[in-house]
Structure 1
Amino acid sequence: MFPDDIQASAIAVIQEALKAGVMVATAESCTGGLVSGALTAIAGSSAALDRGFVTYSNEAKAELLGVPDDLLAQFGAVSEPVARAMALGAIERSRASASVSITGVAGPGGGSEDKPVGLVHFAAVGPNGAVVHVERRFGDIGREAVRLESVRVALALLLDAVST
């Protein structure tokens, strides 16, 4: 279902989480649950994946993850502060001790000069509570490509989070 490299990354995340005794959660916007989908494609993933939040709208980000309305208003959904709040909200509203969040502009529309198509913000939280933020500008490479590249980055961040 997923490309081989994504499948291999998902396997690595599940194996490392199991080894570390860590439950994980995802908070996804532009990927629409693809990261959770990649993880649940792995047999035995229920022992390591607690839940996935698909929070495509601002209302969902606020209601399901507790992202403050003023943060969304000040910075917009596609921003570092919102990505951080999404990752922390996934921890607070689950049984997980590690999470990853993704929020971006997959395209083809919806971009602006400040937030062009292909801009994606990620955040990951590990069991130690440290939050890591990453910004990627994939460019206007097509909606599917932006989403798949985002899954790759998110899985790599989650692997780092559960491995530390």
Structure 2
Amino acid sequence: MYNVFYYDTLVGKITIVENGNSITHLKFGEYIPDLHFKINETRLLKICRKQLEEYFKRKRKNFDLPLSLEGTEFQLKVWKALQEIPYGQTCSYKDIAKKINNPKASRAVGMANNKNPISIIIPCHRVIGSKGNLVGYRGGLDIKEKLLYLEKSRRLY
């Protein structure tokens, strides 16, 4: 059984899903997963929300949550590499491709980035274009920009 709950945050409404043991999804808006779920604010979902609130208040730079990821071997490598990008820093798709020892896979890294099931916590927003431009973000470039600004700035808006 999956539990899901919706929260209002600094970047709008988000949906968090857990499987009883781990966080499985964090999506923007009211996301209804294509699986059996129950709207139920569990202890784990409350902990996740609290950590997100701390992140948005700049009191947390790293998340300490159990995550459950399902994807291809390539996607899992990319998502692991994303988790290693330090708070407040960015890198390119090409940088990630090199990190996973597949230097010609920049486009595939972009596709895996787009399939990231746990946005923010797995910080795909920290990946930018090779020329430093903001490119592609499932939550929208406005949210990506807010998250990057939040991590680099000392003051909010």
- State if a TM-score over 0.5 links the two structures: no
Q: Computing the radius of gyration over CA atoms, which structure comes out larger, 1 or 2?
A: 2
Higher relative contact order (CA 8 A, sep 6+): 1
